[in-house]
Amino acid sequence: MSNSNVVVYTSRNCTQCEHVIAKLSEWGVDFEERNVSENREYFKELQSKRIYGTPATFIDGEKILGFQVRKLKRTLGIPYEERFIDKDAMNFS
């Protein structure tokens, strides 16, 4: 779906990592997964970026830490439907 360069740094037993991977797959986004638990070089890459936890997603160089659906969608250009109603914007007159 996306023409973006997407790299996701993951680790073993990381629920948030699983959520990121699941959403990207659900949205049809091609990505490269780099598991820092299985590959020491990936761990060093992440540390060189001054990041010490997973998931860390890079979309065309933009960093997204953790599982942030809105930020992932916005960065990928996927429309996001807001679930919350802005009561200040509603006019009851």
* pLDDT > 70? residue 29: yes
Please tell me which residue, 33 or 82, carries the higher pLDDT value.
33
* pLDDT > 60? residue 87: no
Q: Please, what is the average pLDDT of the chain?
A: 89
Confidence grade of residue 5 (pLDDT, cut at 50, 70, 90): very high
The backbone torsions φ and ψ at residue 78, rounded to the nearest 5 degrees and listed phi first, read -95, 125
CA-nearest of 18, 13, 20 to 63 is 20
CA distance 78 to 71: 10
Host H or E run for residue 8: strand 6-10
Domain annotation for the chain: domains and CATH numbers: 6-77 (3.40.30.10)
Please state the pTM of the whole predicted model. Answer: 0.82
